[in-house]
Structures are given as C-alpha cells and as structure tokens.
C-alpha cells in the first residue's frame, strides 16, 4: 500500500496540475491543523481539568452548532467553490458571487441565531446549557468572515494559512493559561470562537484590500435566489445531522453529559481523520470540476490513504485513549474502534458523492440517497441509544455512513456502465 502511494505522489509531482494539487493539499492541511489539531493538543489538559462532564457539555453545544453552521453554510462551500473556480479569471464575476454568498450567509446566520434563542427559551436542556451554547455560536460569524471556500476556489491558500495557524496557536495557549478548574470549561469554546473571529478579520483584509474583491450590496431577491440555487446541496449537508449531531443530542437527553463525554472522546480522533478526508476532497474538488476524467485517479489515492488511516486508528485505539485522556474515559476505546471503520465509508461518500455526483449534476439523486440513508439512521438511533447509550451512538454513526458511502458508489458505477453502453452503441451505429 505504501509503495502504491509513493508511485501516485511521484506521478503527481511531474505535472503542473499535480504540483498545484500537492501545494493546495499542503495549505489546506495546515488550515485543518489550525482549526483542529491545536484544540487537540489541549485535550489531555482539558480532560484532566474539566473532566468528563465538562467535556460532555462542550460536546452537547458543539452538536447544536453543527445544525446552526449547516444552516449558515447552506451548501455554499460546494456550489460557491465550483462557481468561483470556473470564473476565477473574471474579477467582476468573482466579486458578484462573493457578495451574494456573503450576504446570503449573514441572513442565514441571523435566522439560525433566532432559532437558537427560541430553543434555549423553550427547551429545559438547552436552557440549562445556555451559556456554553451561546458562546459556542460565536464561531459562526467568524467562519462567515473566513470563507475558506473562496481561498480553495481561487487556489490561493498560501497567504492566509500561516496567519490562521498563528491565531489558533495564540488561543490554544490561552486555554493553558486561563482554564484552571471544572467551572472554566466554558472558556474552551470561547477561545475557539475568538480564534475563528480573528482569522475571519485577517481573511477579509486579504480578500477586500489585498486582492481587491468588491463586497457589494445586493438585493434581497438576489439573496433569496442565491439561497434557492444551493438548496439541494444544503439538504445533502443537513441530512447527516439527523444521525450524527442528533445522536449526540439524544444521548445527552437519555444518558447525560458523562455519556456524551465518552462518545466525544472516542470520536475526537475520528474528527481529525474526517478533517483529513475533507482536505483531500476539497483539494481535488476545483480540479475535478475542470477535469472529471481524472476521477478514477483521485479515487485510488483517497481510498488507499483512508484504508491505512482507518486501520491505524482501530489498532491504536487503546494506546491513543490512554495517552490523551484520564482513566474515566477508558470506555471511549470501543467508540473509537467502531467509528474508525466509518472513515472508509466517509471516503466512499466523498469520492462518489461530493466529488462525482455533485460535479456531474446529480445533486437531486445525491440528495435522495442522503435523505433515505439519514432517515434509516434517525430511526435506528432511538432504540440503539436507549439500550446501548454511547456504543449505540457510535454504531448509528458508522452504519449510516456505510449506507451513504456504498449507495453513492453503486449509483455512480451503474451510471458509468450505462454511459459506456450508450457510447459503445453509438460507435457501432
């Protein structure tokens, strides 16, 4: 497997597109380091200081933010990336796309905030954790100001990456300085949110001042039309929350913060692996939008690398949990082992769903696949979480991703074979 990877990367370095892909992959990887690995560094310290209950409260708030963030993103991280990548030489067109997407996301953020306030007011569990939930929400305006989709589409990750890295490093240091006891757990999401906001300010400076992209005022009708154009992709993005984020919320209601803490600890390493998959997917997305014939090449790289990562996580689960957490998190080993398998399924979903079906205009078909699979995951989450708590939540996550990944792969294989048959008939005619 390693020899195969070596040959693939050697061939990448020989072409111009390959060099661009490698460079973008490196910069996107550093951005993910800034966003995920630095908080990961604080994990052993936080596990010791705030304990499993504090971890659980942070995880509960983070699960809610997945829903709020998905609403604010509304699929633009794919549709806007695709549109800017195709028009990046046209500065006026780029400014128009950027402006419409920016104001659309601001409107969606306002809607999600009002929805969140209503939930905090009406739901006792939300009201009990109101402070940590509202503090965690601060990361969403930061993410809107830091449109990584734009840098990805323009393939200009270099200038912003190091500044983003430094800002995340600063707020990671603040965790060690200010978090001193269990009651300080709320400072962790606060520092993460401030990191997003600082990065966002820097990003807007580069986009508007350095690169002279114009942020225009657009009509309300234009905003509504922009939102409508990404609705199918939004549905593709929101439905996984019905088995993933919902499982975390349901677990919090059924088994409390301690169970959420164990689930979150086991999935922390999976999050790093998942973000690595995201880097891979996003690196190739603008490239494949121009050269879809290279898809099989991308598929080989992705699936080979992910298989290796998944195997390592499964094998090293006891060592990783023991190294990064205290003894009260020991049950997270089984969570990590179950969810490590899901990385391979997520790879199939990225390869055949996002980086093929979306690019080939099969948004609705992909939406339908995601809805059906998520509905199955939603249904099985109730009995599995009720009887098996965090283990049940891990099984729901892995099983549902498996359905999504395998279904996407089967759809693409059937479509490709049909197209090959049509082409062969035309040649014979």
Sheet strands (E) in 62-108: none
Cα-Cα-Cα-Cα dihedral sign, residues 9, 15, 19, 20: negative
84/366 Cα distance (integer angstroms) = 22
What is the pLDDT at residue 229? 87
Residue 359: φ, ψ to 5°: -70, -25
198/195 Cα distance (integer angstroms) = 5
CA 422 to chain centre: 37
384/388 Cα distance (integer angstroms) = 6
Report the 10 Å Cβ neighbour count for 219: 10
Tokens coding 359: 């690019």
Sheet strands (E) in 133-285: none
Cα-Cα-Cα-Cα dihedral sign, residues 62, 67, 71, 76: positive
Return the CA Rg of the chain. 21
Q: Write down the pTM of the prediction.
A: 0.68
What is the pLDDT at residue 224? 93
The three-class DSSP label of residue 305 is: helix
User: pLDDT of 326-340, one tens digit each?
Assistant: 888 889 999 999 999
Report the 10 Å Cβ neighbour count for 178: 12
Could you identify the residue written with the tokens 């603040």? 174
Tokens coding 409: 């792969």
Could you identify the residue written with the tokens 């154009």? 229
Tell me the C-alpha to C-alpha distance, in Å, between residue 162 and each of 32, 34, 119, 147, 199: 12, 9, 38, 16, 10
What is the pLDDT at residue 33? 61
What is the pLDDT at residue 216? 92
Burial of 263 (0-12, 13-18, 19+ CB in 10 A): buried
DSSP string across 246-278: HHHHHHHHHH-HHHHHHHHHHHHHHHHHHHHHH
pLDDT mean values, one per 10 residues, the chain (429 residues) = 54 59 67 65 82 84 86 86 83 92 95 93 89 92 87 73 74 86 87 84 87 91 91 78 74 84 86 74 75 82 87 92 86 93 91 86 85 89 91 92 93 85 68
Q: Which long-range contacts (CB under 8 A, 24 or more apart) does 326-332 make?
A: 326/47, 326/48, 326/51, 328/51, 328/52, 329/47, 329/52, 329/261, 329/262, 329/265, 331/262, 331/390, 332/262, 332/263, 332/265, 332/266
What is the pLDDT at residue 395? 93
């Amino acid at each position: 497997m390693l020899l195969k990877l070596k040959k693939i990367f050697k061939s990448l370095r020989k072409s111009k597109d390959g060099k661009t892909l490698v460079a973008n992959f490196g910069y996107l990887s550093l951005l993910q380091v800034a966003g995920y690995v630095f908080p990961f560094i604080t994990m052993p310290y936080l596990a010791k200081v705030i304990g499993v209950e504090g971890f659980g409260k942070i995880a509960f708030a983070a699960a809610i933010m997945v829903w709020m963030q998905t609403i604010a993103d509304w699929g633009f991280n794919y549709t806007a990336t695709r549109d800017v990548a195709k028009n990046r030489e046209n500065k006026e067109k780029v400014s128009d796309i950027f402006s419409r997407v920016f104001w659309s996301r601001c409107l969606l953020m306002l809607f999600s905030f009002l929805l969140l306030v209503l939930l905090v007011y009406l739901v006792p569990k939300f009201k009990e954790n109101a402070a940590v939930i509202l503090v965690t929400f601060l990361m969403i305006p930061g993410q809107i100001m830091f449109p990584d989709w734009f840098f990805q589409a323009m393939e200009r990750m270099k200038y912003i990456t190091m500044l983003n890295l430094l800002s995340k490093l600063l707020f990671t240091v603040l965790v060690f300085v200010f978090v001193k006891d269990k009651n300080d757990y709320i400072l962790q999401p606060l520092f993460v949110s401030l990191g997003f906001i600082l990065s966002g300010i820097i990003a807007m400076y580069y986009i508007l001042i350095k690169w002279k992209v114009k942020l225009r005022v657009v009509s309300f009708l234009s905003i509504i039309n922009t939102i409508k154009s990404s609705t199918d992709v939004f549905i593709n993005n929101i439905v996984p929350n019905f088995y993933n984020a919902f499982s975390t919320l349901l677990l919090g209601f059924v088994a409390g913060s301690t169970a959420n803490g164990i689930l979150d600890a086991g999935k922390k390493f999976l999050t790093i692996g998942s973000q690595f998959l995201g880097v891979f997917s996003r690196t190739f997305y603008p490239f494949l939008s121009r050269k879809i014939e290279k898809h099989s090449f991308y598929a080989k790289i992705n699936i080979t690398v992910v298989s290796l990562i998944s195997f390592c996580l499964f094998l090293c689960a006891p060592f990783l949990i023991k190294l990064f957490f205290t003894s009260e998190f020991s049950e997270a080993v089984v969570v990590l082992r179950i969810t490590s398998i899901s990385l391979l399924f997520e790879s199939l979903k990225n390869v055949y769903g996002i980086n093929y079906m979306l690019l080939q205009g099969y948004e609705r078909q992909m939406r339908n696949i995601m809805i059906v699979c998520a509905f199955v995951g939603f249904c099985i989450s109730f009995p599995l979480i009720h009887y098996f708590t965090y283990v049940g939540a891990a099984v729901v996550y892995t099983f549902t991703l498996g359905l999504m990944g395998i279904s996407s792969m089967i759809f693409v294989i059937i479509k490709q074979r049909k197209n090959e048959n049509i082409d062969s008939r035309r040649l014979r005619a």
